[in-house]
Structures are given as C-alpha cells and as structure tokens.
Amino acid sequence: MKKILSLLITVLTITTAFAQQQHGSISGIVTATDGSPVAYVSVALKGTSYGASTNEKGHFRMGRVNPGTYTVVVSAINMASQEKEITVATGQNSTVNFSLDLSTSQLKEVMVNARTNSVKMDNPSQSLRLQEPLLQVSQNIQVISGQSLKEQQITSMSDGVLRNVSGAVRSEHWGDLYTNVKMRGSQVQAFRNGFNVVSSFWGPLTEDMSFVDHIEFVKGPAGFMLSNGDPSGLYNVVTKKPTGQEKGEISFTTGSFNLNRAALDLDGKLSKDGKLLYRLNLSAQNKNSFRTNEFNDRYVIAPVISYQVDDKTKLTAEYVYQRAHTSDVGSYYVFSPKGYGVLPQSFSQLPAGLPPTNINDHSFTVNMQHQLSDNWKLTAQAARYDYYQLGTSMWADTVFADGKYVRNAGIWEAKSVMSLGQAFLNGKVNTGSVVHKILAGVDMGDKKYFADYSHTASLDTKAKPFDPYDPTLAALNAPANGYPTFDRSTSLEARAAEGFGLINSRYTSLYVQDELGFLDNKLRLTLAGRYTYISSSDFGTTSDAKHFTPRVGVSVSIDDQTSVYGLYDQAFSPQVAARLVNGGSVKPLTGSNLEFGIKKDWADGKWNTTLAAYRILRNNEASADTSSRPGNPVSFLLGQKRTQGIEFDLRGELMPGLDLVANYAYTDSKVSKVGDAPSTIKVGDIVPGYVKHIANAWLTYKLRTGGLKGTGVSLGGSYLAGRQTDTWTPGLLRLPDYFKMDAGLFWEGTKMRITGNVFNVLDKYTYSGSYYSFLNAYYYQADAPRNYRLSVAYRF
C-alpha cells in the first residue's frame, strides 16, 4: 500500500511539473489615470474561457494559459472596455498593465457595479465603522452579498439566508414574520444599518429582500463598533442606497403555493449635476402555504434620497414601510404526545374563520457624513422605528394522551416605538512609524414595547377537543367553542400594563478605539473601551446599570493575502424583559469572548477562507423556565454558560464561472454555573437551542463562452446534526439529523436573468421543535415539501 501511495505521489508530482512547464501565466495592474487602483473589474482573454478580476489593489493574474498570442480585455459596467495584445510563452509570466481614463466619480461607480456581481465582498459597510478590509479585521465577519441573495431566490431574511454563514440557525418561531437567528449558542441581535432594532422577544419584523443590499454577520461581541450587542454576535442588514447611476430592474417571481411576487428597483439622479440622487424599491407578494388556510402577503415601499451638499458633506434620508398581512402566527405548530413528525407534513390546525394578523412597520433614518479633513470623518445618524401589530396567536391549552388537544387563540396586539441616535468619528494619525486608526463615538436609544397577549380563549372544549387524526378535520371550519371576541375597549398601554406586556429600555454608550499599525501596517493592535449606562423597566420594576467593557485584538498580515488574529472582548447589553420565577428583575447580560483565527484570500482575491476558534462566557442570562408558556414567559437567571466551537467559511470564485459558498461549524454549549436555575439543571448540562454540527454549501457554475453563454446550474444543501431542543426538558425523543438539498438552472444575459430553483429536491419531511413539560407533549413545525420558484428579472 505504501509503495502504491508513493508511486501515486511521484506520478502526481511529475504530472504537475510537466503541466506547469506546458503553460504560462498573465498578470498585471489596472489603474486610473491618477494612479488609483481599479478594483473588481473583469479581465479576460478575448475568445477564450480565461478570465480574472482585479483585487483591491488593482492586481490580476491568470494561470495555466496555453502558449500563444491573445487579446486581453478589461471591462466593467458603465466603462468603455480596453484591449491589449500579449504573447504568452511556455513556463513564463507575461505582464500587461492598463491605465483607464476615469474621473473620481466614474471610478467609484465602476467599482461599486463590478463588485455587485460577486458572492465575495472584501470590505464592511460604513455602518460597521471600520476603516480596513475584512481580511485585516481581528474578528470573524462574514458578508452575504446581494448576488448570493439573487442567485438563491431569497425573498426575506428568514428565507434561506442562513445557509450562507457558518454556525447560524433559525428558531422555528413565527413563520416568516420574525427571524430569530441563533449563532454561537445563543440568539443574536438584529441590526439594520448599524442600529439595534430589537425591542421584544419576537421582533423585529423580518426584512423583505427587495430593499436589502447585503447582510453582515459579526461573530462575537461588537459593542466597540455598534450599539449594544450580544456576546454571540449580531447580523446587520444593509439597505440599498443611491449609486449615482441611471439604472433600474424589474422582476417577477412565481412558484409553488400560489406564490406571486413583483419587485421594482429604480436608481438615478434627481439633479443634472448629480448632487441629488434617489433609490426607490417597491415590492408586493401574495403567497399561500402547503398547510390549509395559511397565507403570507407582504408589501414594501422603500425610498431613499441623498444630497451631496458640498465636497465634504453628504445627507441621506431613508424611509421603509413594510406591511404584513398573514394568517395566525401560531398556526404553524403541531402538538402531539407521540413525538415529532407523527402527522402528515401538510397537516394544519388553523380554522378558516380565525382573523388574520396585520403588521405595519415604519422606519425613518437620516444620515449625515462630513469629511472634516483628509484624515478625519464625522458620521451622525438618527432613526425612528414605529411598529404596530394586530392579530392572534394559536397554541394548545391541553394535550390528551390519545393525541387530541384543545386549541387556544390569544389576542396579539403590540406596538413598538424606538428612537435611536449615533455619532462617531473616524480618523487617522501618525506617530513616527506607527499609524493610529481612531474610532470614537456615542450611541443612544429609547425603546418602548407594549403588547396585549394575555387575553386568550379556547377554540375547543375538553368534551369536544380538536382531533388531528380526523380525516375530515371538520374543526378547521367550525371550532367547537366558536371564535373568540376580545375586549379592546381600554387602551393597548393599559392592557399591556395589566398583562405583563410592557418592555422599556434606555441606554447611552460612549466608546473609543485605537488600532495601532506597526511595520507598514503588517501588525495591527486594537485597544478599545466602551462605557454603557442602561435603564430598563419591565413587569413593574425598574433597574439601572452601568459598565465598562474593554477590547484587545491583534491581527498580523503574513503576506498580502493572509492574516492571523487573536481577540479578547467583553459584552454588556440589556436583556429582553422577562418575569422571573424567583421575583426581581432581569439585569443586563455580561459576557466575554476569546477568539483566534486565520483568514486567507486565494487566487488574487477571487475567493476567501476563514477559520476561527472561540470560547464565549455568558453571565446571568434570562432563560425560559420549563413551565413557561408562549405569550406569558416565565424565566430564571442561569449563572453562566460556556459556548465554544470552530467555524470555517469559504466564499468566492474558485475558477472562471464557478462560485462556491460553503461553511461548517462545530458548537458546544454547556452550563458552567447554575445560578438561580431549577434544581434539575446541573453544571455540565447541555444548554438548549443550538446545533452541534452545521454544514452548508451553495455552488453556481455559469458558462462564459459558446452558444449557451450565460447558462448556469446551482446546487446547494444544508446538514444539521446534534440538534438540541429549545427547552430545558428534552422529552424522551431527540430531534433527528436534518438534511435538505436545493438545485436550480438559470440564464443571464446583458439585460435579463431567468432563474428557476427547486427547493427540498429530495422531498424530505424536515422539521424543528421541542418538548413542553406543562403540556406533556412535543411541538414541532414542519418545513415545506418539494417546491419550485421561477424568476424573471430585466435590467434597464
């Protein structure tokens, strides 16, 4: 066996060396006339399949090119292509450089457009406040590009987004209304354009993808660069902004379950001088379900206006209106004492006459950026979020041993009002050979949430319960106890105060960070600190807290495409209100994160890998008690839990036309201190609500030449193993391993793209769920069976 292995290695070595001798390579630099590098533009050999794109420094390289004479073409959207002839010799590298006649504004437009067609993004958004490429940041940050969202036909934040980032998994709650992402052992915070937009257990309303540009996942605490976050991390939805180009796109999607969706994206100038710009996104969706009586209709209006006051100051105003008109938000669940998946995948418990849920979600943001000097920039932004919901939520009152149960419908009327403000300063200072990148700022927030979810009524009676095994399911038309009528004669605020539905918090934070660059910025040391004051009130109690959180990070560039990093930081953030079993009030959560990783760009930056290992400690986390009921949660304070794991992410173009997003995460979360937990919980117990092994992949291949040019195929899958339930009482059954595969075909031309995808190709019966001890029953939510989508998009 060893001889065979040695022979194979020898043959492979000789073959590789011979192949290298039979080919040459081409490299070069693309710059503007002022010497600025032109990043992300396409470089190709005319009439062949050879291609590359420039990296951030304008460099490109094409390897394994057959000897011969070629025409090298540089091209990008809104830019006249440029050509040069070059000869490639065996075993030699040929160099060719390009200088493009582009103004500053044209250069920006070209780079923005060139990057939109990539699944790999190299720089964070301005809302993350960083002044460097992701490769140099001493933290694991993964970005899901707009191109990935389009290729995968993702329509909302809770629709397949998470397969694009390691270790992220979605709780099954509330269908397509609330995303509730868990990562590194806990639910992470939801951000939009740098603002923390969480005000309750269930919000915010998940973003429709029509107005989303890309999504950033920040692993670990991020208080140094954003408002109060969670030790496990956050996701930041970055919305579309004006680009200064006159362009538009209209799209239509149809599919299974009577899905019909239209979207319009307009981008352009409102003044001839290009100082006043606009962006308008509109979408409308009607969609039913594989379950009876369910539907989810969504409507979006999202205008943005930006004004370049002068060379130094820019103002941007953005409004987003989302309306959700949907069936009862608890209808997705199935209850059974017999286990998971015991009823047909399409089973529904939703009666036809239960009123729908309506949500109106408004947000208004104003952003000002002012360039104080060449090295200093001031950014200030304020936002107002206004949310109102009226509907019902179903659950179960009683589950009998034979599988019959009594359905309950509770009113769910809620209002959320958030006023948020931020101001931060970015600067650069040199002290000798050391470069200081300074970040300093203030964050403020005032959040109020009112909800009436305490008024409930049974739809069935114990004498005549709902029978899920009745083939006629007659109770879907007329519940035995009829439909409830709720008394709303008093104000929502009064009803919320009576029924434990008030959640308020105010906070102010001051922070400063200095990243010191040594050895021509090859060694970067980050020192940061944040002081936070939080005042919160819930269930009639008020608490004030203040805390200082430090941060230390080191990042080292081994070469231009490889860096290693280490990080220690802390978190201090308010917890969503909860009623404690032992009385008292919930205190802000504290925690720490220790992390090490290596990042590498491959093939001149075409694709990237990140490998990270971490350990997170979370102190005094409010956790749902085993007797807790949805809509009226009761919690205890867990002393400490320790989460540790390994994450791997790969994304980018592996070869011309072949894009891959792939990731894997190992997570282990256990109790390290008991605190006020029930006596049944011990040190070393597994913490509920996470997945031990998560692996995802999405591969796309597009033909670049020939008669079928623009035609492509996609294939993706998700695998989850070691799934833990969401409650401390797991019952007798564990959640089984999970596997789901999707596939698709597409064609893309200069103006049009046609995409067809098949989701759950293998037609697996998959679900998520948990066990409720107070019901002595399992509950679960099934995923959709095999289904289809077809999209047509036209750019103009």
> By mean pLDDT, which of 3-17, 26-40, 187-201 is the weakest?
3-17
Please state, in angstroms and rounded to a whole number, the distance separating the CA atoms of residues 330 and 505.
Answer: 27
Which residue(s) pair with 364 in the sheet?
Answer: 319, 384
In this prediction, residue 4 carries a pLDDT of 42
Q: For residue 779, what are the CA distances in angstroms to 75, 357, 389, 395, 406?
A: 55, 22, 25, 10, 14
**Alpha helical stretches, state H, 287-366:** none
With a cut of 90, say whether residue 14 has pLDDT above it. no
Residue 20: what pLDDT? 44
CA torsion sign, 489 to 492 to 498 to 501?
A: positive
CB 491 within 8 A of CB 415: no
Q: In the structure, what pLDDT confidence band is assigned to residue 200 with cuts at 50, 70 and 90?
A: confident
Could you check whether the bond before residue 588 is cis, i.e. omega within 30 degrees of 0? no
* Ranges 169-178, 662-671, 766-775, most confident: 662-671
Q: What is the DSSP string of 498-567?
A: HTT-EEEEEEEEEEEEEEEEETTTTEEEEEEEEEEEEEEEETTEEEEEEEEEEEEEEEEEEETTEEEEEE
Beta strands (DSSP E) in 56-148 are 59-65, 68-76, 79-88, 93-95, 98-100, 141-144
- The yes-or-no verdict on residue 12 having pLDDT over 50 is no
- pLDDT confidence of residue 10: 45
CA 583 to chain centre: 35
| Phi, psi of 2, rounded to the nearest 5 degrees | -65, -35
Residue 77: pLDDT above 90? Answer: no
Strand order in the sheet with 141-144: 141-144, 212-219, 233-239, 189-192, 195-196
Which tens digits make up the pLDDT trace of 265-322?
999 999 988 899 999 999 999 999 999 999 999 999 999 999 999 888 999 999 999 9
Q: What is the 3-state secondary structure (H, E, C) of 641-663?
A: EEEEEEEEEEEEEEECCEEEEEE
Q: What angle do CA 466, 467, 473 make, to 5 degrees?
A: 90
Mean pLDDT of the chain: 87
CA geometry: angle at 527 spanning 523 and 531, to 5°?
160
- The residues, ordered by sequence, that sit 6+ positions from 133 with a Cβ below 8 Å of its Cβ are 56, 122, 123
* Dihedral (Cα; 202, 204, 208, 213), 10-degree rounding: -130
Residue type, 757: N
Q: How confident is the model at residue 13 (pLDDT cuts 50, 70, 90)?
A: very low
Q: Count other Cβ atoms within 10 Å, centred on residue 632.
A: 14
Least confident range of 244-253, 266-275, 570-579: 570-579
Cα of 556 vs its chain's centroid, Å: 27
Band the pLDDT of 577: cuts 50, 70, 90.
low
**Residue recorded with tokens 């989303």:** 212
Q: Can you give the pLDDT at residue 43? A: 85
Mean pLDDT calculated for residue range 382-408: 94
pLDDT digits (tens, 9 = 90+) for 696-711: 999 999 998 888 999 9
Helix residue spans in 137-294 (DSSP H): 146-151
Taking the C-alpha atoms of residue 375 and residue 372, their distance in angstroms, rounded to an integer, is: 8
**What value does the CA radius of gyration of the chain take, rounded to a whole number of Å?**
27
Cβ(410)–Cβ(395) below 8 Å: yes
Tens-place pLDDT, residues 514-567: 999 999 899 999 999 989 898 887 666 677 888 888 999 999 999 989 999 999
Which is it for strands 98-100 and 169-170: parallel, antiparallel or unpaired?
unpaired
User: What is the H or E stretch that residue 493 is in?
Assistant: helix 492-498
Distance CA 719, CA 666 (A): 12
Query: Among residues 92, 104, 80, which one has the least CA distance to residue 26?
Result: 92
Per residue in 307-324, pLDDT (tens digit) is 999 888 999 999 999 999
151 contacts 114 by C-beta, under 8 angstroms: no
pLDDT at 454: 83
Residue 786's CB is within 10 A of a number of other CB atoms, namely: 14
Quote the CA–CA distance of 621 and 38 in Å, as a whole number. Answer: 48
Q: Nearest-CA neighbor of 396 among 466, 343, 452?
A: 466
What's the pLDDT at 631?
Answer: 54
- If DSSP codes are grouped into helix, strand and coil, which group holds residue 774? coil
* Residues 464, 405: Cα–Cα separation, whole Å: 9
The answer to whether residue 235 scores a pLDDT higher than 80 is yes
User: With 70 as the cut, is the pLDDT of residue 5 above it?
Assistant: no
**Percentage, residues of the chain above pLDDT 70:** 90
- Listed range (62-76, 328-342, 409-423) with the worst mean pLDDT: 62-76
Confidence category of residue 23, pLDDT binned at 50, 70, 90? confident
Query: Residue 223's pLDDT band (boundaries 50, 70, 90)?
Result: low
3-class SS shares of the chain: helix, strand, coil, % to 5: 10, 55, 35
* 3-class state of residue 14 by DSSP: helix
- 633 pLDDT more than 70: no
The pTM of the full predicted model, rounded to 2 decimals, is 0.85
Number of H helices, E strands in the chain: 4, 43
Which one has a higher pLDDT value, 791 or 173? 791
What are the C-alpha distances in Å from 674 to residues 363, 637, 642, 671, 684? 40, 9, 12, 7, 9
Q: Hey, what domains does the chain have and what are their CATH numbers?
A: 2-102 (2.60.40.1120), 126-239 (2.170.130.10), 247-795 (2.40.170.20)
Task: Write out the H or E segment, with its range, that includes residue 20.
Answer: helix 2-21
Q: Is 741 helix (H, G, I), strand (E, B) or coil?
A: strand
CB of 350 closer than 8 Å to CB of 293: yes
244 or 86: which carries more pLDDT confidence?
Answer: 86
Name residue, tokens 């978190």: 571
DSSP string, 155-188: -BTTSSGGGGSTT-EE--TTTTTB--EEETTEEP
Q: How far apart are CA 90 and CA 23, in angstroms?
A: 5
Report the distance separating Cα 752 and Cα 791, nearest Å: 10
Which stretches does DSSP call E strand in 432-494?
A: 434-452, 456-458
> What CA–CA distance (Å, rounded) separates 702 from 789?
19
